[in-house]
Chain A
Amino acid sequence: GQQLNQSPQSMFIQEGEDVSMNCTSSSIFNTWLWYKQDPGEGPVLLIALYKAGELTSNGRLTAQFGITRKDSFLNISASIPSDVGIYFCAGYYGQNFVFGPGTRLSVLP
């Protein structure tokens, strides 16, 4: 089945820095979702994107639906310690729903 690739796999940043991560596929997606999973918890939906080019913000988080419909990007501005966790992209292509492997974010004080 379709696989999603997330980059980077992991990242260490200093508190206050901005973060960028992306999610790519070889298929065209009609929806992109970004989730965050804290240690010991289930994923929590951060942002949902429904059309190509869409740019949506949720506080310090901003996500974009790539115009090729094969990728999506998530940016976090001015990172804080509670941003630590695993960020998953997920999406629908046709009636299929898949998750990416995640980007693990660590924030150094």
Chain B
Amino acid sequence: ETGVTQTPRHLVMGMTNKKSLKCEQHLGHNAMYWYKQSAKKPLELMFVYNFKEQTENNSVPSRFSPECPNSSHLFLHLHTLQPEDSALYLCASSQVYTGTATDTQYFGPGTRLTVL
């Protein structure tokens, strides 16, 4: 149990659907992250929120829209996705985000997304 939960664990959606991924952390952290994990590729950082403010957006297409209503919750809103967006989407949290080695990240179990 890492203290970071993600729902749903599995999601299948069509290219015209709108869905949302949810992440919740119970660790009292102030930074939250979204990563994409595709087969045989390194984890790709998508977004970082620090104290509810977005601090990083690594050139992610606008069909992915993050939302961080408070330090414990993070959402990833999905719309008009493409089949190549199928991947495992991982959420992580850390005490804060400083962009340094002190930001030890704890990961959730991920949402396995399939886009048809």
- A92 in contact with B101 (CB, 8 Å): yes
Docked Cα-Cα span, A42 to B4, in Å, equals 10
In the complex where A31-B101, A92-B100 touch, is A42 in contact with B92 (Cβ < 8 A)?
Answer: yes
CB neighbours of B27 from chain A (8 A): none
CB neighbours of B107 from chain A (8 A): 35, 42-44
- B43 in contact with A88 (CB, 8 Å): yes
Q: How large is the interface on A (under 10, 10 to 19, 20 to 34, 35 or more residues)?
A: 20 to 34
Shortest beta-carbon distance, B12 to chain A, in Å?
A: 16
Shortest beta-carbon distance, A29 to chain B, in Å?
A: 9
Instruction: Tell yes or no: A98 within 8 A of B by CB.
Output: yes
Docked Cα-Cα span, A97 to B92, in Å, equals 14
In the complex where A30-B101, A50-B101, A101-B40 touch, is A41 in contact with B110 (Cβ < 8 A)?
Answer: yes
CB neighbours of B104 from chain A (8 A): 33, 45, 48
Instruction: Tell yes or no: B2 within 8 A of A by CB.
Output: yes
- A97 in contact with B45 (CB, 8 Å): yes
- A101 in contact with B42 (CB, 8 Å): yes
CB neighbours of B42 from chain A (8 A): 3-4, 88, 98-102
Docked Cα-Cα span, A3 to B2, in Å, equals 27
CB neighbours of B99 from chain A (8 A): 95, 97
Instruction: Tell yes or no: B76 within 8 A of A by CB.
Output: no
Across the interface, name the chain B residue whose C-beta is closest to A40. B109
Docked Cα-Cα span, A100 to B40, in Å, equals 10
> Contact mask A1-43 → B, CB, 8 Å, 1/0?
0011000000000000000000000000011010100001111
A/B interface sample: 13 pairs, CB < 8 A: A4-B42, A40-B109, A41-B110, A42-B4, A42-B6, A42-B91, A43-B43, A44-B2, A45-B105, A50-B101, A90-B43, A95-B100, A99-B43
- A sample of 11 more A-B contacts (CB under 8 A), given A42-B4, A50-B101, A97-B103, is A3-B42, A4-B42, A35-B107, A42-B109, A43-B43, A43-B107, A44-B107, A45-B106, A95-B100, A99-B42, A101-B42
The 9 closest A-B pairs by CB, nearest first: A42-B107, A31-B101, A95-B99, A99-B43, A99-B42, A92-B101, A43-B107, A41-B109, A101-B42
